[in-house]
Amino acid sequence: MSPVTMSSRRADANSSHLVKNIFIFLLICLPGSYCDSPMSVEVQTMDLLVGETRLFKFTQIGEYNETLAITAVIQHPDIVQFVPPTINIPGTERPNTTAKLTYDICAYGRSPGHSEVTFNATPSDIVDLDSVFMRITVMQSNAIYVISYIMGWIYFVAWSVSFYPQIYINFKRRSVVGLNFDFLALNLMGFTMYSLFNCGLFFSRDIKLQYFSRHPRGLIPVQLNDVFFSLHAVFATLITIGQCIFFERAGQRVSMTGRGILSVFICVVIVTGSLAVARIVEVLDFLYYCSYIKLCITLIKYIPQAYMNYKRKSTVGWSIGNVFLDFVGGFFSILQMMLNAYNYNDWISFFGDFTKFGLGLFSLVFDIFFILQHYVFYRNADEKKYNMDAKA
């Protein structure tokens, strides 16, 4: 092979190597070009105690030929502090696209509360940090956190079990006389809507994407226990409705008022569901409408049973065990909200979330009213009624 040929091939190789280096430079180092997830934090959610310091890692994939300054932008600096607040990442003449570099950051809890943390890069056009963020919660006491967690399970169990005293009484009496059918129908409609909302947000990837497109740094507001509770509630209500079919009901049925209310809710479901199928609104919007129906039903579902007890001057056939368990669930739910508000110094959310607090308080008021009906207002009437049933 001639020296000219060898020289030519060597020049071609050098030229190819140069083109490769230029391509890497354009891909990684020039402004406006990004790597796939070039930077990330070790955890996105962190719980701290006031005065506690916790270490976490900031990870970088790939090197740059320009020095970067990564600065933490803390939503509430009075709640949490980062040390150091800025990470300086030195540039290199020969960037390695596969290099993995980690940097230690200390998070220090200064006062109770919630704070989001995002990150900015200087220069700002080299790397995209929009997906890098943290949610930090600083609490006053870990013991209160544990107590609040236990309370959460108490009201979950109480509300889940609360369906069965009524089922047991119906089975024991072989009768559903005294149980209001409007209450049952509204309950079935409400828990069905609640199940649609929970299952859609928990299981559907597309719906989750719709949610995150609206709330990029949000958390899915549905957990597995929410799904279980709503589906179980539908199941238990269906069992009770089945008892209404086979047991003595003395001509009871869903009232015209109840049918009218249910018809309105069904029309809303059909219209919004059709809009979602036609892609005029997103499926997430349809699920929100379902949740609004559940809220409305929770506000009105106890009224028919309370009125029926008043009209009959008796609570026979209406389970007081159901009322007690519902009261326990509602009481611990509100108590948990109060403990969390104190532990995280978040009273604004406590009083600002009127829907959750108001519904819980509304349920407690009706439970107390049912207890008064059973043990005070119609106590003697109930005893007479039981005696008449026994003689029959």
**Alpha-carbon span 310 to 319, nearest angstrom:** 15
**Alpha-carbon span 222 to 200, nearest angstrom:** 9
Most confident of 36-40, 117-121, 359-363: 117-121
Regarding beta strands 45-49 and 133-139, do their DSSP bridges make them parallel or antiparallel, or are they unpaired?
A: parallel
pLDDT for 115 equals 92
Summarize pLDDT for 177-224 with one digit per residue, the tens: 999 999 999 999 999 999 999 999 999 999 999 998 887 767 788 888
Helical H segments across 177-319, by residue range: 181-203, 205-214, 224-246, 256-277, 283-300, 302-312
DSSP annotation of 315 reads -
CA trace torsion 370, 375, 376, 378 (10° rounding): 80
Summarize pLDDT for 44-94 with one digit per residue, the tens: 999 999 999 999 999 999 888 889 999 999 999 999 999 999 999 898 888
**Alpha-carbon span 51 to 24, nearest angstrom:** 45
Q: Please report, rounded to a whole number, the percentage of residues in the chain having pLDDT higher than 70.
A: 85
Q: Which residues contact 252 (CB under 8 A, 6 or more apart)?
A: 176, 177, 179, 180, 181, 244
Summarize pLDDT for 250-304 with one digit per residue, the tens: 889 999 999 999 999 999 999 999 999 999 999 999 999 999 999 899 989 999 9
- Summary mean pLDDT of the chain: 85
In the predicted structure, residue 306 carries a pLDDT above the cut 60: yes
In the predicted structure, residue 362 carries a pLDDT above the cut 60: yes
In the predicted structure, residue 2 carries a pLDDT above the cut 80: no
> Lowest-pLDDT range, 21-25, 99-103, 111-115, 227-231?
21-25
Contact 107, 46 (CB under 8 A): yes
pLDDT for 356 equals 63
pLDDT for 168 equals 96
DSSP annotation of 314 reads -
Regarding beta strands 133-139 and 80-83, do their DSSP bridges make them parallel or antiparallel, or are they unpaired?
A: unpaired
CA trace torsion 356, 134, 142, 84 (10° rounding): -150
What backbone phi and psi angles, to 5 degrees, belong to 252? Answer: -70, 145
Query: Interior CA angle at 21 toward 18 and 23, to 5°?
Result: 110
pLDDT for 179 equals 95
Domains of the chain (ranges; CATH) run 39-139 (2.60.40.10), 142-378 (no CATH)
pLDDT for 352 equals 56
Query: Interior CA angle at 367 toward 361 and 372, to 5°?
Result: 130
pLDDT for 351 equals 63
pLDDT for 83 equals 95
Q: What pTM, to 2 d.p., does this model score?
A: 0.78
In the predicted structure, residue 368 carries a pLDDT above the cut 60: yes
In the predicted structure, residue 99 carries a pLDDT above the cut 70: yes
Distance of CA 65 to the CA centre of its chain: 43
Confidence of residue 350 (pLDDT cuts 50, 70, 90): low
- Tokens representing 134 are 């943290």
- Tokens representing 103 are 């940097």
